[in-house]
Chain A
């Protein structure tokens, strides 16, 4: 067998293996998506799936639910706002930590990490008191601020390995050209660190999008986010399984869109930056 055919076969096998892995991994999500199109009676009866069971009723109910719609809108706002701030602030801090060897660098970096380890439950009551005093309770900006407080350490640490792998020669060249420190950061460094920024933006968004505890306690009727709204559909007392699944499926869409957008947007940065030599 010649080399090309071998390569083709190998890629084919890998493609098949990847597909199998994907199907197994996505099975629970598939179930949730499917159940969003079935009635509660059917879902809980144990009957196997038949095409005739499909219905849009749950989606209709969910999309007419003002509480859920408000939650979606708020979640998108908070998600984007918190992500933007977290990545901006976190990237700067990560750059400062990794590029400048100052004393206390370790203490600072690990300090951020330790703060991130505290469970939300212990922090949320104090945050509530603080926000109430500062009139930030039940506001998008207040909630976003609380999200930034746990996303920044995350972003900092996520970016450290990416930043460390970038050759200093780029910055040295820019410095010779007379760039300001911030200019170097913005124009030279960030484009090189694009893959890391994508990853940290995606996870900052996911963390903000899926967050429940802070949203529950720190918001009321105005800034309520989607997870809080969905919580009512999980039905401790009543059965709205189909709607919960429909809502859960809808929740996947913005994150997916955000991820794809991030990847497309910064793929240009990767090819332009030329980290790969």
Chain B
């Protein structure tokens, strides 16, 4: 069957050809002590030494914990908000088109500028958020100085920026559901929640799952906005995985260690993907749910 190959060839060439060297490079380099600059010392083979170092490094496990927390807190919230907004805005009222397009602005916002703006908003003395707190009679909070609040702020920033992404995907999915199907359930006398459960959610499942997957792979790479907001601090309270990898690779100049982190993540993702496939998220099942017609 040559046909699928015809369609797949360009992507295979681009993605695998461009990425195969970097991945092999990471794998090989992860077995070395490999300084970022050749002037910083000799490269030395350390076998599994980097992996051992990582497993013994509390900062590494801390960054994983923070990263997972970030994913499991921010993404569900983004999904719920996006879903609610998609339902709300899936009708033609005055200015609907404008609202739907403008709502996407946070997703367009440059991450560095977003981080900078949030850092600005959260400052005491001149930050608008604290000004708001003061007018409400509440005390000023030094958000970014407190570990918990700083982490919260980082999560809120991501939710703020990316729930419109979920909205856009879910809305696009919703508009693909023929109106007659929805009206049929109304005629049947089905209430709002019943309609969601029996019709809309099942039809939207592939879109929701894809949206979740895409958000997760992006959330794993989150970097610029958090770096500008907190640099990983206070202490290591917001030192997410990419920030720690950045510190290791570009701060300490330890490319070997950073590569070990990448391979660690690669293995984790393979396990994750394999679990998904086994747990009935193989493509066949996804397609069945999409209507399998």
Contact = CB atoms under 8 A, between A and B. Distances in A.
Direct contact of A and B (CB under 8 A): yes
Interface of A: 11-12, 14-15, 17-19, 21-22, 25-26, 28-29, 31-32, 35, 43-46, 48, 85, 88-90, 92-93, 95-102, 105-106, 108-110, 112-123, 125-127, 129-130, 145-146, 148-149, 152-154, 156-158, 160-162, 164-165, 167-169, 181-182, 185, 195-196, 198-199, 202-203, 206, 209-210, 212-213, 227, 230-231, 234, 241, 244-245, 247-248, 251-252, 255-256, 259-260, 263, 275-277
B126 interface: yes
B214 A105 contact: no
Given A45-B126, A260-B101, A145 B120 contact: no
Given A112-B15, A119-B220, A213-B223, A25 B178 contact: no
Given A43-B126, A248-B109, A19 B22 contact: no
Contacts of B5: 96
B57 interface: no
Given A25-B160, A118-B23, A121-B245, A181 B6 contact: yes
Contacts of B10: 88-89, 92-93
Contacts of B112: 212, 227, 230-231, 234
Contacts of B7: 92-93, 95-96, 100, 181, 185
15 contacts: A18-B89, A21-B85, A31-B120, A100-B7, A114-B269, A115-B16, A117-B269, A118-B266, A121-B242, A161-B290, A164-B286, A167-B293, A168-B293, A252-B105, A255-B108
A122 B259 contact: yes
B176 A25 contact: no
B14 A259 contact: no
Contacts of A101: 284
A122 B262 contact: yes
Nearest to A125: B255
B286 A122 contact: no
Interface of B: 1, 3-8, 10-12, 14-16, 18-19, 21-23, 25-26, 36, 85, 88-89, 91, 93-96, 99, 101-114, 116-118, 120-121, 125-128, 131, 160, 164-165, 168-169, 172-173, 175-176, 178-180, 206-207, 209-210, 213-214, 217, 220-221, 223-224, 228, 241-242, 245-246, 249-250, 255, 258-259, 261-262, 265-266, 269-270, 273-274, 276-277, 282-284, 286-287, 290-293
Nearest to B2: A181
A241 B221 CA distance: 26
A203 B266 CA distance: 24
A202 B107 CA distance: 10
A160 B105 CA distance: 25
A248 B130 CA distance: 23
B15 A115 contact: yes
A92 to B, nearest CB: 4
A130 B22 contact: yes
